[in-house]
A and B are shown apart, each in its own frame.
Chain A
Amino acid sequence: MKTEITGKIIIVGDNIDTDQIYPGRFLALTDPKEIGSHCLCGVDENIAANFPQGGIVIGGRNFGCGSSREHAPIALLNMGASAVIADSFARIFFRNAINLGLPLIISKGISQKVKEGQTLTLNITEGTIKAEETGEVFACEQLGDQAMKILEAGGIKPLMREKFGKK
């Protein structure tokens, strides 16, 4: 796993629920690329098409609340997001994202401190976020051992394959 991630950011608000990340009308889709193309369309239809590849999504409190649909992190990953940083995350979304290898980082008040389109460098192991343009550094929480173990393996799937002796 990459412990340092650099990417341009987009900023969304509080309580971005999984219906806004991935609306119910697209839930029957199974192709990951197609799923990614609808990402965050409940917030703004144009986000996915213009998303900077490898970018970071910045949210407010309770990002990912609502339904347990794994389509939400699948959409974020396939839109090209490399991490999400927010004040707080909803629980099921948190598990789903970590399971798929998408780092979710808590940094209180982050959406107020950064500006749309800025480039941030996130260091997951050190727990720091650096704004490339201004040199400002913000603190963030470190992930728990269980989440780190899964992320380091590249997600829960490689971990399970190992456990079941299949490569």
Chain B
Amino acid sequence: MHALEKILAKNSGRKEVKNGEIVTAKIDFAEINDLYLQTVYSFYEMGGEKVWDSTRCAFVFDHYAPTPDIQSASNHKEMREFAEKNNLQFHFDTNCGVCHQVMPEAGVIYPGMIIVATDSHTTTHGAFGALGTGCGATDMATILMTGELWLRVPEIIEVRLEGEAPKGVYPKDVILAVLGKIRADGAVYKAIDFTGSYVENLNVAGRMVICNMAVEMGAKTAYMQPNQDVLDYVSERAVRPYEVEFTDPGYEYTESYVFDVTKLEPELACPSSVENVHTLASVVAEGEVKLNQGYIGSCTGGREEDIAIAAKILKGKHIPEYTRLIVVPASREVMLSCMEKGYIQDLMAAGATITTPGCGACLGAHEGILAPGEVCITSTNRNFPGRMGSTEALMYLASPATVAASMISGTITDPRKYL
């Protein structure tokens, strides 16, 4: 069996599971973000009274942190009341950050668990050898009532990433290259196991970037076998004992793709689809791409590693007049550490606007919305029409290094020039 199947079997009280089977699995942790007040409504509509386990679920207020209007403030208020009434052990208010960053930091994510959250990017936690998957509000309400969810055991695709990344190629470039090949619906209903020497040597932040964007191929979940970096990270934080699962030798994947990471280049997902991936070199060869805004943040590209490389590139330089760079640390922990290391100071000196840890403008709610006709380069994960504001704005997805390098001239620029 695959490690993911072992997790599903363990949590549904079976010896074995096979793909295609429907199982009812126990959920180790459930997270509700602040877009999902509907969860509370559905919970009561279905006759819920108290959550099944007050130590295993939490709200994260990240999309509206802090609230931009009366409606979202009222939503937070109702959710806070629910959290308080249920005496939830964990609560992440507007001072914390993006859910997929604050949960691992708080130690509620660890290998071998099932984490379900009301957010599609819950695949991120495959980085830790956990089974993470997203659901909607009403599915979440059933979890809050029962502690369980029905799941179909997915087919598993192997994406083998081999070799060391060349200079200027970051985990974001790697996942964009994969996405360009497998396409936006290449893994719908399936799981992706990222394997290979690149993954074995990758740090926690890099693993999270890649697993995060597995959902952009439609994947139900992502997986990476935990390495020493992961074990060190979770051993300091995990709030429960855990067991790492391993895939049996000889496990047969439904499909396998192999990528030679040594041959990759800085990549871009061009407007307006995540699968519209081209090498940066080929895009700029066709002509200069002028930018109005750069954006570094989100559960994909707002970690310390991302802000560090941006600060390194932009230190002592300044973004051009009439352009703006918005930097949103993914969490309070990230921001504090970046302040301590001087990255925030360097970026502010270069003309960056720093906003509250959280989702910020990643989904077009506030703090960096795009006007019609504007062009943005961003380290986030989606460039769908209207994702960051106007449907007539254009968005390029890139690594944080590419965003930073591009903000020096205000046009899309190869980061290798500055490394």
Whether A and B are associated in the same complex: the answer reads yes
Residues of the A chain whose Cβ atoms lie less than 8 Å from the Cβ of B119: 67-68
Is A113 engaged at the interface, CB distance under 8 Å to the other chain? Answer: no
Is A78 engaged at the interface, CB distance under 8 Å to the other chain? Answer: no
Q: Scoring B residues 34 to 56 as 1 if CB is less than 8 Å from chain A, else 0, what string do you get?
A: 01111001100111100000000
Q: Are A24 and B365 in contact (CB under 8 A)?
A: yes
Q: Are B365 and A62 in contact (CB under 8 A)?
A: no
Is A123 engaged at the interface, CB distance under 8 Å to the other chain? Answer: no
Q: Are A23 and B386 in contact (CB under 8 A)?
A: yes
In the complex, A70 Cα to B42 Cα: how many Å?
11
Q: Are A24 and B387 in contact (CB under 8 A)?
A: yes
* Residue in contact with B136 in the complex, picked from A88, A95, A165, CB distance below 8 Å: A95
Is B408 engaged at the interface, CB distance under 8 Å to the other chain? Answer: no
Q: Are A30 and B38 in contact (CB under 8 A)?
A: yes
Residues of the B chain whose Cβ atoms lie less than 8 Å from the Cβ of A23: 364, 386, 391
The answer to whether A96 and B138 touch (CB under 8 A), given A42-B385, A62-B188, is yes
The answer to whether A164 and B46 touch (CB under 8 A), given A20-B386, A66-B120, A88-B185, is yes
Is B25 engaged at the interface, CB distance under 8 Å to the other chain? Answer: no
Q: Are A91 and B364 in contact (CB under 8 A)?
A: no
Name, among B37, B120, B385, the residue most crowded by chain A CB atoms within 10 Å (CB to CB): B120
Residues of the A chain whose Cβ atoms lie less than 8 Å from the Cβ of B37: 30
Q: Are A161 and B47 in contact (CB under 8 A)?
A: yes
Contacting residues of chain B (348-391) with chain A, CB-CB under 8 angstroms: 363-365, 369, 382, 384-387, 389, 391
Q: Are A90 and B71 in contact (CB under 8 A)?
A: no
Contacting residues of chain A (93-110) with chain B, CB-CB under 8 angstroms: 95-96, 99-100
The answer to whether A25 and B273 touch (CB under 8 A), given A91-B188, A161-B47, is no
Q: Are A70 and B189 in contact (CB under 8 A)?
A: no
Contacting residues of chain A (77-129) with chain B, CB-CB under 8 angstroms: 88-92, 95-96, 99-100
Whole-angstrom distance from the CB of A89 to the nearest CB of chain B? 8
Residues of the B chain whose Cβ atoms lie less than 8 Å from the Cβ of A156: 46, 138-139, 142
Q: Are A70 and B138 in contact (CB under 8 A)?
A: yes
Q: Scoring B residues 140 to 160 as 1 if CB is less than 8 Å from chain A, else 0, what string do you get?
A: 011001000010100000000
Name, among B41, B64, B152, B386, the residue most crowded by chain A CB atoms within 10 Å (CB to CB): B386
The number of A-B residue pairs with CB atoms under 8 Å apart is 135
In the complex, A4 Cα to B75 Cα: how many Å?
38
- Closest A residue to B149 by beta carbon equals A95
Is A75 engaged at the interface, CB distance under 8 Å to the other chain? Answer: no
In the complex, A79 Cα to B275 Cα: how many Å?
29
Total number of A residues with any Cβ neighbor in B under 8 Å: 43
Q: Are B35 and A160 in contact (CB under 8 A)?
A: no
Q: Are A68 and B47 in contact (CB under 8 A)?
A: no
Is B283 engaged at the interface, CB distance under 8 Å to the other chain? Answer: no
Q: Are B185 and A19 in contact (CB under 8 A)?
A: no
Is B100 engaged at the interface, CB distance under 8 Å to the other chain? Answer: no
Q: Are B189 and A91 in contact (CB under 8 A)?
A: yes
Q: Are B384 and A20 in contact (CB under 8 A)?
A: yes
Residues of the A chain whose Cβ atoms lie less than 8 Å from the Cβ of B387: 19, 24
Q: Are B365 and A157 in contact (CB under 8 A)?
A: no
Residues of the A chain whose Cβ atoms lie less than 8 Å from the Cβ of B75: 28, 30
Whole-angstrom distance from the CB of A62 to the nearest CB of chain B? 4
Q: Scoring B residues 46 to 76 as 1 if CB is less than 8 Å from chain A, else 0, what string do you get?
A: 1110000000000000011000010110010
Q: Are A92 and B136 in contact (CB under 8 A)?
A: yes
In the complex, A152 Cα to B39 Cα: how many Å?
22
Q: Are B150 and A146 in contact (CB under 8 A)?
A: yes
Contacting residues of chain A (1-49) with chain B, CB-CB under 8 angstroms: 15, 17, 19-20, 23-25, 27-30, 42
Enumerate chain A interface residues (CB-CB to B < 8 A).
Answer: 15, 17, 19-20, 23-25, 27-30, 42, 61-62, 65-71, 73-74, 88-92, 95-96, 99-100, 144-146, 155-157, 160-161, 164-166
The contact sample of 26 A-B pairs, CB cut-off 8 A, is A15-B185, A17-B382, A19-B382, A19-B384, A19-B385, A19-B387, A20-B391, A23-B386, A25-B364, A28-B69, A28-B71, A30-B37, A30-B71, A62-B188, A67-B363, A70-B138, A88-B188, A92-B136, A96-B135, A144-B22, A145-B22, A146-B150, A146-B152, A160-B46, A160-B141, A164-B48
Enumerate chain B interface residues (CB-CB to A < 8 A).
Answer: 22, 35-38, 41-42, 45-48, 63-64, 69, 71-72, 75, 118-120, 134-139, 141-142, 145, 150, 152, 184-185, 188-189, 218, 220, 273, 275, 363-365, 369, 382, 384-387, 389, 391
Q: Which 8 A-B pairs have the closest CB atoms?
A: A166-B47, A96-B136, A70-B136, A62-B185, A24-B363, A24-B364, A160-B46, A28-B71
